[in-house]
Structure 1
Amino acid sequence: METAIANPSAELISTGRPQLDRNLRLKDVLKTLPKDVFIKSRFKAWFGFLSNVVLVSLGWWGIAIAPWTLLPLLWLFTGTGFFGLFVIAHDCGHRSFANKKWVNNLVGHIALTPCIYPFHPWRIQHNIHHKNTNHIDRDNTWNPFYVEQYEALNKFEKTVYRSLHGKFWWLGSIVHWFQLHFQWWTIKPGKEREQFKFSALFVMAEMAIGFPLLIATTGWWGWFSLWCMPWLVFHFWLSTVTLLHHTLPDLRFEPDGKWHEVTAQLVGSTDCKYPWWFEWICHDINVHVPHHLTTAIPWYNLRKAHASIEENWGEYITRNRFSFRLLWQITDVCHLYDEEKGYRTFSES
């Protein structure tokens, strides 16, 4: 793990970085970014989307004709293509793919079709994460439980929690998908509920029609090989990338009264280096700090924005490099949360 500490003698917070002025506002940080990072490129946006469509199509073609010895590699390739489509839908959800809202909605639904992920429910829930990043009580993405919360769970709930915050972290996004993205009746009546319901029913219809057709034409093995295994690879990446964006032993979650927006977005988000092929297929989603400062930056401008942040705010940034060793360390330690001590392991509860 690489952590930037420009001035070791400065007043330090628990993360080992200089203390941010709590009077600092998000717009003060955004003023330091080049204005052209907010400019959308129709060509780059559509090229990114269509390139993933081509990659997934090539992956499916390869799975259909390749010998079984090549299937694991093709599952990895195709599932990573799924995740690339998810990243395009991610820009659509933040309205940074196109200027017209209906284009964002249409492309978002199409891009998430192989992932069977409801677009509007994801968009609505994901915006909660951005508004409350690393808020211990309000964030909805990998926020840990207090010890007291964990102890109040029943045996089954404890087993699920221990698994998802341990070595089965890669199933976390599947549980999140199932728990939060189909229950439209939990949303306050109005436009958002109708959008939520439409997307949820769209995905249900997709599964009800698409799965039987796939099984009828390719058999159960075709369903498993062409869709299920790539889908599991997609969720491995979704769980892993999301986990590494905001989870390290020294990154803080804070409650009301202590939570500070700029600290949460600038210090509480991390950038992580992945293999070049992953970063290319998945459109630099790992360049995460600029995205958390403002969701208005399209994926193809993230690196330029990041260079500016490095220049002006580099002492506050956390940088990692993807590895299974890092994942093992996180899932060995980042289990429960204590407001004063930070993360605690299950054995310390």
Structure 2
Amino acid sequence: MASRLADSSFLFMGPQQRPIKPHRFQPLKSPGLYYLKWKSLPPTRIKHQRCLIPLRRITTVRAVAVPVAPSPADSSPTPAESAEYRKQLSESYGFKQIGEPLPENVALKDIVATLPKKVFEIDDVKAWKSVLISVTSYALGLFMISKAAWYLLPLAWAWTGDCNHRGHDCAHKSFSKNKLVEDIVGTLAFLPLIYPYEPWRFKHDQHHAKTNMLSEDTAWHPVWREEFDSSPVLRNAIVYGYGPLRPWMLMWHFDVKKFRPNEVKRVKISLACVIAFMAIGWPLIIYKTGIMGWIKFWLMPWLGYHFWMSTFTMVHHTAPHIPFKYSDEWNAAQAQLNGTVHCDYPRWIEILCHHINVHIPHHISPRIPSYNLLAAHQSLRENWGKYLNEATWNWRLMKTILTTCHVYNKEQNYIAFDELAPEESYPITILKKVMPDYA
């Protein structure tokens, strides 16, 4: 935020009260803090008969601009100043655009009302076409794994892991008008992932209902300072988990006690399906291909899937300027429109994951089928474009998330681990050194 000097020029006053010509200051770009360079005074000596302050020849002064309370007339930045500040933040964080704050009086229903009705329509042909794409792509991935040279296996694993996203629409009840069909397709789609469909659906619905709400959001959220300070062992685990291991961190959905009584029956059915798949599927894979085959054909694609899902989830809701709020301060429209990020990935990734990274309309209404997300996003751009956060995937974006967005702070949103415990945050220091920084 732009800091202001109490007086933009320093005046040396002699007895005649005539000011010396003020010198220009050059601010270096940094939000909230400015380093000021005083241009060198002329080499000739300045003479005054009487001077309140003895003058000396000064070449360079380095000073910090200290914010002062602004007058009512200039308490708010101009639109041009706000736009320039957001532009600087965008460049710094790796965004294409950081949106303006959404006004408090805008409700989520106001945003939903601007979307075309057709984007909510379920098209069975398009839905089953997307299933065909997922099944075919997964089969192709397994074929590539079986034939690829060892140095091409990571690409094959990444491809195969990105194919397992078809259950998402089923979980949001936007796949079919027949809810039994949705549950069957969703359960089958989740089985290779060892994810119980119903527990994931319940927790994921909570993420959509409480996006960026402290303690309530079930996706990625900031670390609590109390957790970070509680013990050295936990602190080290958190630093690794939110740093270099974050793209592979898994969410656990096997604890029945975490669900409401009316959800437990469906949760247990999903758990039984997953256990049956593990009890039958894993031995068959090992019988046909051996332990190395199990690692090659199941474990590595599974880790690939978690890499994509964790990375997608991080990018969608995590940035230094996106706040998490307590429930009494939380605003649904701000969280879903201002607190969600649209991120463009390479075309092949978008096709395989069914455009889940067109994420803002997905949070405005999870009932929009995946094949309609592009049309819905275009509508949001036309009606709410200046409020949207948009990015194209790049290394600076990932570096910002992995090295900055750590511990919750109400004023700053996040404090990085290495600011709180630099001697114990060497994984973050290493990431800062080795990760590329280009956008």
Indicate if the aligned counterparts of 2:227 and 2:235 stay in contact, CA closer than 8 A.
Answer: no
Confirm or deny that 1:41 pairs with 2:127.
Answer: no
Classify the secondary structure of the residue corresponding to 2:329.
Answer: coil
Indicate if the aligned counterparts of 1:167 and 1:328 stay in contact, CA closer than 8 A.
Answer: no
In the aligned structure 1, how far is the partner of 2:207 from the partner of 2:402?
A: 21
Matches within 5 A, 1:56-67: 56-67=138-149
Indicate if the aligned counterparts of 2:316 and 2:340 stay in contact, CA closer than 8 A.
Answer: yes
Indicate if the aligned counterparts of 1:30 and 1:293 stay in contact, CA closer than 8 A.
Answer: yes
Identity %: 40
Residue of structure 1 equivalent to 2:296 = 225
Post-superposition offset of 1:10: 6.5
Confirm or deny that 1:146 pairs with 2:224.
Answer: yes
In the aligned structure 1, how far is the partner of 2:370 from the partner of 2:80?
A: 33
Residue of structure 2 equivalent to 1:278 = 349
Residue of structure 1 equivalent to 2:59 = none
Give the letter aligned to residue 306 of structure 1. H
Confirm or deny that 1:186 pairs with 2:258.
Answer: yes
Give the letter aligned to residue 211 of structure 2. T
Post-superposition offset of 1:337: 1.1
Post-superposition offset of 1:330: 1.3
Higher helix share: 1
TM-score, with normalisation over the residues of structure 2?
Answer: 0.72
TM-score, with normalisation over the residues of structure 1?
Answer: 0.90
Match of 1:159 among 233, 236, 260: 236
Classify the secondary structure of the residue corresponding to 1:337.
Answer: strand
Give the letter aligned to residue 186 of structure 1. K
Indicate if the aligned counterparts of 1:135 and 1:259 stay in contact, CA closer than 8 A.
Answer: yes
Classify the secondary structure of the residue corresponding to 1:166.
Answer: coil
Post-superposition offset of 1:256: 2.5
Give the letter aligned to residue 194 of structure 2. I
Residue of structure 2 equivalent to 1:97 = 175
In the aligned structure 2, how far is the partner of 1:131 from the partner of 1:102?
A: 23
In the aligned structure 1, how far is the partner of 2:101 from the partner of 2:392?
A: 24
Matches within 5 A, 1:196-215: 196-215=267-286
Confirm or deny that 1:54 pairs with 2:131.
Answer: no
In the aligned structure 2, how far is the partner of 1:107 from the partner of 1:239?
A: 23
In the aligned structure 2, how far is the partner of 1:142 from the partner of 1:115?
A: 19
Q: Cα deviation per residue 1:142-191 (whole Å; 9 max; x = unaligned)?
A: 11123233223x3333222211211211122x2x1xx3x1111332322x
Post-superposition offset of 1:69: 3.7
Structural RMSD (CA): 1.9
Q: Please identify the structure whose Cα radius of gyration is greater.
A: 2
Indicate if the aligned counterparts of 2:227 and 2:234 stay in contact, CA closer than 8 A.
Answer: no
Post-superposition offset of 1:348: 2.5
Q: Which has the higher contact order (CA 8 A, sep 6+)?
A: 1
Post-superposition offset of 1:285: 0.5
Gaps of 5+ in 2: 1-78, 91-97, 421-439
Q: Cα deviation per residue 1:211-245 (whole Å; 9 max; x = unaligned)?
A: 11111111011101111111111111011001000
Indicate if the aligned counterparts of 1:334 and 1:345 stay in contact, CA closer than 8 A.
Answer: yes
Residue of structure 2 equivalent to 1:136 = 214
Post-superposition offset of 1:9: 5.6
